[in-house]
Amino acid sequence: MLLYQFQKGTNPRRVIIYLNEKGIDVPRYELDYAGGEHKSPEYLAINPSGRAPTLVTDEGMSITDSAAIVEYLEDLHPEKSMIGVDAISRAKIRSLERLGTDLVARSQLWLWNITRSFPAMEPSPSLKVASKILVYVTEILDVLEATIGDNEFLAGDRPTVADCTVFPIFQTCRERFELPFGSAHPRLDLWYKNFRQRPSAEY
């Protein structure tokens, strides 16, 4: 098994943090983002989208989506479930995970426009567009803020794949771009700061 990753990439970090939380050791290959290795013919043969992460299984199959990779690994390692132990908890955790996936997608569009640091993704960044997208980002942050309540983690009293999904976009915005992402949401702010202390969140 081999995980192709960018150590600091938001979507790869969903898998990296999950692996750290579970204590699963998977060999890694760090793609050279600046050098465009993810667009090389060799990598495109493994993942035609030219994105990371990709998990190549022992059977040689490429899993090319971070959520699908986490689900696959969870099937192999069901102990200390991070995806729910019964139909109700799985439904709750998956709902939050999917909301987190939407948050990542919207926030990335926002980042491309507000930071102007992704010319390959957004060649004409616009602060006006960024402020419109921020409304849709905030809509999800509001829902997560209401959902977490006084819980330590997004789905209750232990970490789940929902945390692994949402945490990386906070980390990207706050640590890589020094943006106060989610700081107007006090419960999420506290959740982020506490989760950041976990060894799994270290770069």
Cis ω for the linkage preceding 199 (within 30 of 0): no
From the CB of 139, what's the least distance to ligand GSH, in Å? 21
For ligand GSH, the closer CB: 68 or 190 = 68
Alpha carbon 59 to chain centroid distance?
Answer: 26
Helix (DSSP H) and strand (DSSP E) numbers for the chain: 7, 4
Residue 73 interacts with ligand GSH (CB under 6 A): yes or no:
no
Residue 107 interacts with ligand GSH (CB under 6 A): yes or no:
no
Scanning 8-16, 71-79, 85-93, 136-144 for contacts with ligand GSH by CB under 6 A, the matching segment is 8-16
Determine phi and psi for 30, rounding to 5 degrees: -85, 115
Binding mask 15-54 for ligand GSH (x = CB under 6 A): -----------------------x-----------xxxx-
Site for ligand GSH, residues 123 to 142, rule: CB under 6 A = none
For ligand GSH, the closer CB: 11 or 145 = 11
Residue 94 interacts with ligand GSH (CB under 6 A): yes or no:
no
From the CB of 48, what's the least distance to ligand GSH, in Å? 12
Distance CA 154, CA 85 (A): 16
Give CA separation, 134 vs 87, 112, 177, in Å: 33, 12, 16
* Run of H or E residues at 193: helix 186-196
Considering only CA atoms, which of 156, 192, 172 is closest in space to residue 110? 172
- What does the binding site for ligand GSH look like in residue numbers (CB under 6 A)? 6, 9-11, 38, 50-53, 65-66
